[in-house]
Amino acid sequence: MKKTITLLIFSLTILLIHAQEQPAAYALNEEYNLWNLQKGDTTYVFAEMAYIRENADTKSKLVDSLQEGKMVIIKSDGYNGSTIRGFYAPWHKISYVKDNVKKEGFIWLGLLALNSVHNQDGEQFLYGFKKFRPSTENSASYYDAEIKVFDREKKVIARASYQAEVNDQTGTDTKILGAMGLKNIKNIHRSAFLGEACGIATQYYYFAWNGQELIHFPSKMTISDAGVFYREETILFPSEHKGDPTMIYKKIVEAENTDDNLDEPNYKETKSQIKYRWDGYILSELIELK
């Protein structure tokens, strides 16, 4: 009997220690992030090689690695948080299939794609972050971002880098457009970083896809601060403006309230336009002499 009680006390002690250790190992991270992934969501590895850990920490045992484009399923809320590649993100438990075996482990969120979309040919477009670049005396902060195209066999067939001006945006969105009336174009990929609060810009980035390479097209942004100012940029492709099929127009409207009354603002608008020509191979900005 005495031996049984001793064993029971020992077992309870082990369970208590384990219970105390568990929150430290898996501290729930409730901070909002651009990925906004929930349990059960399907997503894809964005990094060229992503390490899978036993627990939610960079010091945890390395149990596997996954290549870019690999599909994974989110199995947990976000835990802990680590700053890697210059930016902070939590960890998630994931499941995946490798060599016909279902496996699980933890991955740092920054290694996953922000969004994914397929075109009519089954080609997949992923975009995500490579590194965060803090502001300097000469430039604002930005992310080194990249877009990748995968064929049906999950092989990368094209990629292009760009600077994403992301600061306090609350979400992402992606869309595949058609050729929009442009010669030698299969699709136009549009990614967005959504600003849903006053003074936070929504940024749109466009890449044309001709089946072999990604071509960086003009970006646009919208921003407003209620009763103070707003700026709205619009991209018009040939199928939209119904004019010259080689022309793309970027129309800009800037407005500032000239009245002290913020409830009934009196906006003074300034309108401008940037013209681009697409010859089927190269995009050129047209400079108008005044």
Structural contact between residues 125 and 80, judged by C-beta atoms closer than 8 angstroms: no
Average pLDDT across the chain, whole number? 90
Compute the average pLDDT of residues 36-42: 95
* Distance in angstroms (rounded) separating the CA atoms of residues 187 and 284: 19
Confidence band (pLDDT; 50, 70, 90) for 290?
low
- Residues 204-225: tens digit of each pLDDT: 999 999 999 999 999 999 999 9
**Is 13's pLDDT higher than 80?**
no
pLDDT of residue 118: 98
Q: What is the CA radius of gyration of the chain?
A: 24
Q: Which residue has the higher pLDDT, 15 or 238?
A: 238
pLDDT of residue 26: 64
pLDDT of residue 244: 97
* Distance in angstroms (rounded) separating the CA atoms of residues 204 and 165: 10
Percent of the chain with pLDDT over 70: 90
pLDDT of residue 189: 98
**Is 11's pLDDT higher than 50?**
no
pLDDT of residue 29: 74
The closest of 282, 166, 143, 169 to 216, measured between CA atoms, is 282
Confidence band (pLDDT; 50, 70, 90) for 196?
confident
The closest of 283, 251, 274, 250 to 182, measured between CA atoms, is 283
- Residues 53-81: tens digit of each pLDDT: 999 999 999 999 999 999 999 999 999 99
- Which residue is associated with the tokens 């349990």? 39
Confidence band (pLDDT; 50, 70, 90) for 226?
confident
Structural contact between residues 232 and 253, judged by C-beta atoms closer than 8 angstroms: yes
Would you say the C-alpha torsion 118, 32, 219, 249 has a positive or negative sign? positive
- Residues 125-160: tens digit of each pLDDT: 999 999 999 999 988 999 999 999 999 999 999 999
Q: Which residue has the higher pLDDT, 6 or 184?
A: 184
**Is 22's pLDDT higher than 80?**
no
pLDDT of residue 25: 59
Structural contact between residues 103 and 97, judged by C-beta atoms closer than 8 angstroms: yes
- Structure tokens belonging to residue 181: 């009336």
pLDDT of residue 264: 82
pLDDT of residue 23: 38
